[in-house]
């Protein structure tokens, strides 16, 4: 089968330049006139000038009496001056026109009225005191907003006040979005039974349509098109005939035998770009058919998002006369080394948090098909193409995907995974402080190492000491000998073997993992569950190499349960709550203590105090017990471990 090889891949900088220079002049830039309240978010096609002055008359700026300033001269404390109401002074409210012959307002608090006829004052007024002059805010004929200004809700008040009720704006660029792929199902009509292997829900068109609307365009979503060159060609030709400003072909831009976007554009137009030296986002196609730009968007969602932001948004901005959006940046310290490939500009999604006055950054999974690597990300790190990676604790600029203020309200949790952290994340976000819980699952030992490096507020851990059967304390003393930490008991939980419903393999315990045909799914090295497994294997005299799948690792209990549910493994060691969540069977092995390690210097910080309050709440206990496999008798117990502690 023919493959689309990237013969002339462009750097991201070259691709951006080509898009703006070659496609920018193709924009139709049509205008329309809208009522001002309907124009919020739109871009002015012409400068707008005021038709009215504001105020249009001298107006009182305070409640009080309007006077001729000259008539008040000589008034002083101890020498009050009386003004006759209705002749020398006139009651006015804020915003009312000044009566003829007056040019100042004295606040009502500075006036003493006697017998309802005389207003006594002890301070003279000066001309135009507490008066809004004609045109103080807006002068008729002055420029309110220049061309290419984006109208905000604030602008609505200025425009209407200035007598401008309709404004000329650029029409939103109309973009046809065409998802392609014979494997696609419409989520609005598909049944779960149709989701057989090889069939997937079509979601990228909805994601990109929302991004497009946010960027100032109008989306024309089309139904999914099978992998057929003729049908894809017809969509592009229809778009050109119907006046669409741009076409985005979703999927089919890569190098596979069923990826037709490049070939179709080459047949009926010109391919400008096939492949961009960026990751994610490499398989991008940019071309023209007549005067219609065509973008072949990668099928993986993160790739599609980055291609849209890096290539499509600059074009939309050029058409609308807007500057390209620039994200706020902060300097962050990576918690571990981040390798990268030379020659590729890489976009690494990060979790961020402010710990001890520093912004720490933990990389998320880099898979382009993992949409959660964007939804969970707080920031984006660009690694230049001439760099092989970023060293641990090397200060780097990071683009923020959330407001900067949220970093101070982020609780950074690193260590072992547990489903109760999801409950805490929800409770913290719903609480008055609106704390964001950012958790990274690197195993119990990884959590203790994060505490040692000062890279987190809290570490989750459940490390069994095989010598005495206790949990966590001996490891804290071994790996954090000089640190004082607070050890907070979160839950006791049932850990055991997760197996398929009905246990078709007849697994009875850990001793059966070496049976022929049994495939195991493991947890990563350093996790408490892995240490627990290895301890049991040693006690039973079982060689790990005899277990099929021992080297296949996952980072969370839910990932282990998913592997079993999907048939990728027959069993794995994990918590009961994960098995129950996916309707799997469970063989108990041990009840273990899952605890939180909190360095003393963070114990009184706002995020940690909010965490402890959530743990102590009755709602937390109730929701945890509803998950199954948890015990909350000791939940919230706290003790000091380390120098001067237990």
Best CATH choice for the domain 31-54+137-170 from the list 2.60.120.10, 3.40.50.620, 3.90.105.10, 2.160.10.10: 3.90.105.10
Tokens matching residue 592: 């273990």
Which phi-psi region, left, alpha or beta, contains residue 604 (left: φ > 0; alpha: ψ -120 to 50)? alpha
DSSP 344: -
What's the pLDDT at 1?
A: 40
Tokens matching residue 147: 């061309």
Q: What class does CATH assign to 59-132?
A: mainly beta
Helix (H, G, I), strand (E, B) or coil at 394: coil
The DSSP bridge pattern shows strands 81-84 and 184-186 to be: unpaired
Q: How far is CA 354 from the centre of its chain?
A: 17
| Rg over CA atoms, the chain | 34
**Ranges of each domain in the chain:** 12-28+173-320, 31-54+137-170, 59-132, 467-641
Fold of 467-641: D-Maltodextrin-Binding Protein; domain 2 (3.40.190)
What's the pLDDT at 526?
A: 85
Tell me which long-range contacts 3-6 makes (C-beta under 8 A, separation of at least 24).
3/255, 3/256, 3/257, 4/254, 4/255, 4/256, 4/259, 4/262, 4/263, 4/274, 5/255, 6/255, 6/274, 6/275, 6/282, 6/283
Residues 283, 254: Cα–Cα separation, whole Å = 5
Q: Are 110 and 125 in contact (CB under 8 A)?
A: no
Backbone angles phi, psi at 77, to 5 degrees: -65, 125
Average pLDDT per consecutive 10 residues, the chain (646 residues; last block may be shorter): 61 96 92 97 96 95 96 93 94 96 95 90 95 94 96 97 97 96 85 77 95 96 92 94 95 62 92 94 94 95 96 96 95 92 93 94 85 92 93 93 93 94 96 93 92 95 89 94 96 95 95 94 91 91 94 93 95 94 94 95 96 97 95 96 78
The DSSP bridge pattern shows strands 329-334 and 358-363 to be: parallel
What's the pLDDT at 200?
A: 87
> For 12-28+173-320, CATH number?
3.40.980.10
Q: What is the pTM of this model?
A: 0.87
What's the pLDDT at 84?
A: 94
Please tell me the total number of residues recorded for the chain in this structure.
646
Closest residue by Cα to residue 436 from 482, 393, 404:
404
What's the pLDDT at 166?
A: 98
What's the pLDDT at 368?
A: 79
Beta bridge partner(s), residue 598: 486
């Amino acid at each position: 089968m023919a493959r689309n090889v990237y013969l002339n891949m462009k750097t991201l900088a070259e691709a951006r330049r080509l898009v703006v220079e070659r496609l920018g002049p193709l924009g139709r830039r049509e205008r329309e006139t809208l009522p001002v309240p309907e124009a919020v978010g739109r871009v002015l096609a012409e400068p707008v000038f005021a038709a009215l002055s504001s105020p249009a008359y001298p107006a009182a700026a305070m409640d009080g009496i309007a006077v001729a300033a000259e008539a008040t001269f000589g008034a002083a404390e101890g020498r009050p001056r009386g003004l006759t109401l209705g002749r020398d002074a006139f009651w006015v409210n804020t915003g009312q026109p000044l009566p003829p012959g007056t040019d100042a307002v004295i606040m009502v608090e500075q006036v003493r009225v006697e017998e309802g006829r005389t207003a006594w004052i002890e301070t003279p007024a000066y001309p135009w005191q507490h008066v809004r002059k004609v045109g103080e805010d807006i002068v008729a004929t002055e420029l309110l907003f220049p061309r290419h200004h984006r109208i905000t809700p604030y602008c609505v008040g200025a425009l209407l006040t200035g007598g401008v009720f309709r404004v000329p704006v650029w029409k939103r660029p109309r973009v046809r979005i065409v998802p392609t792929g014979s494997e696609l199902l419409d989520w609005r009509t598909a049944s779960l039974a149709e989701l057989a292997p090889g069939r997937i829900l079509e979601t990228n068109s909805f994601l990109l349509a929302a991004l497009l609307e946010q960027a100032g365009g109008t989306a024309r979503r089309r139904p999914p098109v099978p992998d057929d060159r003729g049908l894809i060609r017809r969509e592009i030709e229809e778009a050109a005939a119907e006046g669409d400003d741009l076409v985005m072909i979703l999927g089919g831009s890569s190098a596979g035998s069923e990826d037709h976007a490049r070939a179709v554009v080459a047949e009926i137009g010109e391919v400008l770009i096939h492949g961009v030296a960026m990751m994610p986002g490499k398989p991008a196609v940019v071309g023209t058919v007549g005067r219609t730009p065509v973008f072949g968007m990668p099928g993986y969602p993160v790739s599609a998002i980055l291609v849209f932001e890096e290539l499509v948004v600059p074009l939309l901005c050029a058409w609308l006369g807007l500057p390209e959006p620039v994200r706020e940046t902060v300097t962050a310290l990576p918690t571990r080394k981040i390798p990268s490939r030379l020659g590729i500009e890489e976009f690494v999604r990060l979790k961020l948090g402010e710990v001890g006055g520093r912004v720490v950054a933990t990389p998320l999974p880099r898979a382009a098909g993992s949409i959660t690597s964007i939804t969970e990300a707080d920031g984006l790190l660009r690694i230049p193409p001439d760099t092989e990676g970023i060293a641990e604790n090397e200060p780097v600029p990071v683009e923020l995907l959330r407001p900067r203020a949220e970093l101070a309200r982020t609780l950074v949790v690193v260590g072992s995974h547990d489903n109760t952290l999801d409950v805490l994340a929800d409770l913290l976000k719903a609480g008055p402080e609106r704390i964001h819980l950012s958790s990274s699952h690197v195993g119990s030992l990884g959590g203790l190492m994060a505490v040692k490096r000062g890279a987190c507020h809290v570490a989750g851990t459940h490390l069994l000491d095989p010598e005495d059967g206790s949990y966590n304390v001996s490891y804290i003393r071994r790996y954090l000998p000089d640190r004082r930490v607070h050890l907070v008991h979160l839950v006791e939980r049932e850990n055991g073997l997760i197996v398929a419903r009905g246990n078709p393999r007849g697994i009875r315990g850990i001793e059966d993992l070496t049976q022929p045909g049994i495939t195991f799914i493991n947890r990563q090295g350093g996790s408490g569950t892995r240490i627990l497994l290895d301890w049991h294997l040693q006690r039973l005299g079982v060689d790990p190499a005899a277990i099929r799948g021992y080297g296949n690792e996952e980072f969370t209990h839910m990932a282990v349960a998913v592997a079993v549910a999907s048939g990728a493994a027959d069993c794995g060691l994990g918590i009961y709550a994960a098995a129950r969540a996916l309707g799997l069977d469970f063989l108990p092995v041990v009840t273990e203590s899952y605890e939180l390690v909190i360095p003393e210097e963070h114990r009184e910080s706002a995020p940690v105090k909010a965490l402890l309050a959530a743990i102590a709440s009755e709602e937390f206990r109730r929701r945890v017990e509803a998950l199954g496999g948890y015990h909350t008798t000791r939940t919230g117990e706290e003790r000091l471990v380390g120098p001067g502690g237990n």
